[in-house]
Amino acid sequence: MTRIQADLILLEASQLRDIKLGEARATELAADVQRVCDAATEVSQQADFNDEPARFTATLLRLGKTKSRP
Amino acid sequence: MKDILSLSLREVAAAIRAKKLSSLEATRACLDRIREIQPFTNCFIAVEEEEALRAARAADRMRGKSARLGPLHGVPLAHKDMYYRKGRITTGGSKILRNYRPDVTATVVERMQRAGAVWLGNLNMAEFAANPTGHNDHFGHCRNPWNTEHISGGSSSGSGVAVAARACYGSLGSDTGGSVRLPAAANGVVGLKPTYGRISRHGIMPRSWSLDTVGPLTRTVADCAKLMKIIAGADANDTTCSAEKVPDYEKALTGCIRGLKIGMPLNHYYEEATDDVRRCMSASLDVLKSLGARIVELKVPDPQRLFDLSNAITQVESAAIHGRWMRERPQDYSLMMLARTEPGFHLPATVYLQALNARPRLSAEFIEAVFSKVDVLHAPVMPMPVPTIAETTPRQAGDVQPMIRRLTRNNRPANFLGVPSLSVPAGFSANGLPVAFQLMGRPFSEALLFQIGDAYQRVTDWHGQAPGI
């Protein structure tokens, strides 16, 4: 996978947010963003087509009610 | 009677009901104590002395009539400065909200009011609840009462300090990535991050909608159980708030934990632990074993992945909440807040949604893998001793994320999973600052966490120790 570069961060900051970032800060942000993107990409490989975020609270309820004891 | 300020929340509530103590006496004692500690700890943003005394007098008058008294009648409490009261200034620890008067009152505030509590004032906090240290560039840093060179922990910094220093009998904080548990641990008090959706978030300053939880900080586990019963439960104003029945948490405090299985994780949670923290954890497990619990070592599904995914959620939601102000007035934000939020502006929407979408499945995997083998998971809240303010003060934006990762690595997985986690004081590190363990459980297992934490506190006295400030 192509690594996220500081250039992308600089472009986004300038064109989407009208903000001028320094090169060093853009490099730090690129690393932070890369880390999170990698984690999300990895879990999305295992996602089921029918998964959806709104299942979360129902999941908590279901798992809280499980009666089985270790 | 014990010295007024040494009483627990339950003791002072009982004493006021029985007319052995007046609310006015308790409130005056707290206000005097606040005056004593405030110059050294900076734990309050605003003290409402006259109003508190008025409320205390009214509470005492009510006792003379045959009015039905609430469970917190006349008990003086103080809360993190992010709980909205209609028309009253709530700063969120920020310059931007310095004069903000919300037009709603938080559901939990209404519940505390109905219970009869007295409001002492608004407690210091990290700006917009966004740092785990207690630094605050606008109102001054909060300082640890055990050693004022050290952090108080955050973001519910003032809550941890005020409860530890006996300036109030309990406090509501909030926990999105450790912000109740860290200040509880750093100050030697109890703190609960509840199941996501257990307590209403209506009328509370947002940090990250999908992760925010309201959490009490108290001196004892039993006090925490009492507060939880009052504030937990369904709320039509918060659609994420669960209608799951609220148990009588105090009834769970049987003192018996025989046969319960307590998990000790073999991966992640001890990876950066210092020897003194390991010793405190080991000693606490020995205590639980002596009470009849079984200690089970086990590997848990990768918490580091959960940490990174929780960043996707917090950073993007925080960027959405603060985007406009960060464009228009970035100079009014601290370096720490800007640095924590900035990545959120660059994360693709699909990444954010992938993280949210993974939550049900990853939570189910973790919960089924761990809690099919043990009843609770026991781990250090902070794997290292409480650091100093100086060593956690960032000099540049790039210092922030590594510092956050170090301090919150053991806490944020529970926020992503949505499970409850209770921080319980368990000794002191070599530098004389408190150490704590956390107990994590299945969703809605707060009663079990209280049962174990309370049993531990019946045979130990870490929670009874107060800083000498």
Give CA–CA dist B182/B425, Å, rounded.
11
B208 and chain A in contact, CB less than 8 A: no
Q: Say yes or no to pLDDT of B136 above 60.
A: yes
Q: State the pLDDT at residue A70.
A: 43
Look up the domain containing A53 and give its range.
6-66
User: Using 50, 70 and 90 to split pLDDT, how confident is the model at A66?
Assistant: low
Residue B71 confidence (pLDDT) = 97
CA distance B283 to chain A (A): 24
Please answer yes or no on whether B361 and A46 come within 8 Å at the CB atom: yes
Q: Output the pLDDT for position B65.
A: 77
Residue pLDDT, tens place only, A4-63? 999 999 999 999 888 889 999 999 999 999 999 999 999 999 999 999 999 999 999 999
**Phi (first) and psi of residue B292, to 5 degrees:** 105, 0
Question: What is the model's pTM?
Answer: 0.97
Q: Note the pLDDT of residue B331.
A: 96
B305 contacts on A by Cβ (under 8 Å): 39, 42-43
Please indicate, yes or no, if residue A14 is contained in any of the structural domains. yes
B356–A66 CB contact, under 8 Å: no
pLDDT of residue B64 exceeding 80, the answer is no
Tens of pLDDT, residue by residue over B375-426, are: 999 999 999 999 999 999 999 998 898 899 999 999 999 999 999 999 999 9
Residue B288, in any domain of the structure: yes
Q: Residue A1 falls within a domain, yes or no?
A: no
Is residue B17 very low, low, confident or very high in pLDDT (cuts 50, 70, 90)?
Answer: very high
pLDDT at B311: 94
Q: Which of B305, B398, B442 sits opposite A39 (nearest CB)?
A: B305
Q: Residue B107's pLDDT is what?
A: 98
- Whichever domain contains B53, its CATH number is 3.90.1300.10
Number of domains in chain B: 1
In this complex, the residue of A13, A36, A68 whose CB is nearest that of residue B372 is A68
Statement: residue A68 has pLDDT above 50: no
Give the rounded percent of residues in chain B with a pLDDT score beyond 90. Answer: 96
Considering the domain boundaries, does residue B53 fall inside one?
yes
Its domain, for residue B358, covers 4-464
**Is residue B60 a part of any domain in this protein?**
yes
Q: Is residue B276 part of a domain?
A: yes
Contact B130, B205 (CB under 8 A): no
Which residues in A have their CB inside 8 Å of a CB on B? Answer: 8-9, 12-13, 16-19, 24-25, 28-29, 32-33, 35-44, 46-48, 51-53, 55-61, 63-66, 68-70
Q: Identify whether B469 is part of a domain.
A: no
| % of chain B surpassing 70 pLDDT | 99
- Establish whether B290 is a catalytic residue: no
- State the total domains in chain A: 1
Any domain includes B124? yes
